Amino acid sequence: MKSNIEHVRHISKVMKNISTLVLWAVPVSLILIWANFDTARSFDFFHRLPDNLDHVGAVNYAGGLLVSGLVALTVIAAVYHLREFFALSSAGKMFSHASALALHKFSKYIILYAFLSIPAETLLSVILTMNNPVGERVVLISLQTYDITVIFLSLVLFTVSWVVKESAVIAEENAHFV
Amino acid sequence: MAIIVNLDVMLAKRKVKSKDLAEAVGITVQNISLLKSGKVKGIRFSTLEAICDYLDCVPGDILEYRREGDQSD
């Protein structure tokens, strides 16, 4: 029968592999979405953006890719540190300083994502409607329950990871006591 | 470091082996070795008490404060 530690190590290994997959999936899907903008819209990928996006050109697509690329970079950085955290957990280093630090960095990038995604959508609405006729250009400022939930959860995660990080420092210091 | 651990001196004076002290105190020989070499950040009062009890000495026999730059010994 497997012990809890063995279960944690096994699940961490699975999560590490999923994180690796996500690391590759984010940039690939970003390029695919922007390369097939209309198809992506029909799948509700840009559900918050205005409907009148009939004058979108190459420059707008490039701008949109750049803005959403910046947001995606924060996600990639977050997942990179999450992968590092799971790698350490799967190696049995569950309460090490390095593991706590990886979790803390993950939470920092999630906070960055949470706060960056709001102005990014505003910027996207401007970029994608800038070629529209006067009166149909849109500056979208949106703050929905989803955004508030993400911000709240990211702050909770940040605080918890901070506590874990400081606890790991104390635990490592205690290990040097005889 | 300003705090010097003189455990090896006390062990020699009392003719006690590290292994025997480790057994009596209830810590590993590796930790005794680390303590002797001063490679620890601290010592618990319970450990110090057990060492003093076994070696029949006082904390001052094991721990010594030497001011930075002091070249005594």
pLDDT at A143: 87
pLDDT at A78: 97
pLDDT at A67: 94
**Mean pLDDT across B6-19:** 94
The CATH number of the domain covering residues in B3-65: 1.10.260.40
pLDDT at B70: 67
Q: Any alpha helices (H) in A36-174, and if so which ranges?
A: 37-42, 58-90, 97-129, 145-174
Cα separation, B33 vs B46, in Å, equals 18
Q: Is the complex ipTM higher than 0.85?
A: no
Verify whether the Cβ–Cβ distance B44 to A173 is below 8 Å: no
pLDDT at A142: 85
Verify whether the Cβ–Cβ distance B44 to A178 is below 8 Å: yes
- Over the stretch B23-61, which tens digit does the pLDDT of each residue have? 999 999 999 999 998 888 899 999 999 999 999 999 999
Centre a 10 Å sphere on the Cβ of residue A4 and count the other Cβ atoms it contains.
Answer: 7
pLDDT at B71: 60
Helix (H, G, I), strand (E, B) or coil at A130: coil
- Residues with Cβ < 8 Å from A126, sequence gap 6 or more? A137, A138, A139
What is the gyration radius of the CA atoms in chain A, in angstroms?
20
Residues of chain A with pLDDT under 70: 1
pLDDT of residue B73 exceeding 80:
no
Whether chain B has a CB inside 8 Å of the CB on A173: the answer is yes
φ/ψ of B55, rounded to 5, equals -90, 0
Whether chain B has a CB inside 8 Å of the CB on A176: the answer is yes
pLDDT at A129: 87
- The structure tokens listed for A162 are 């901070």
Verify whether the Cβ–Cβ distance A176 to B31 is below 8 Å: no
> CB of B48 within 8 A of CB of B62?
yes
Q: Where are the domains of chain B?
A: 3-65
Helix (H, G, I), strand (E, B) or coil at B34: helix
Q: How many residues does chain A have?
A: 178
pLDDT at A54: 75
CB-closest option in A173, A176, A178 to B27: A178
Q: Is A38 left (phi over 0), alpha (psi -120 to 50) or beta?
A: alpha
pLDDT at A95: 79
- Residues with Cβ < 8 Å from A35, sequence gap 6 or more? none
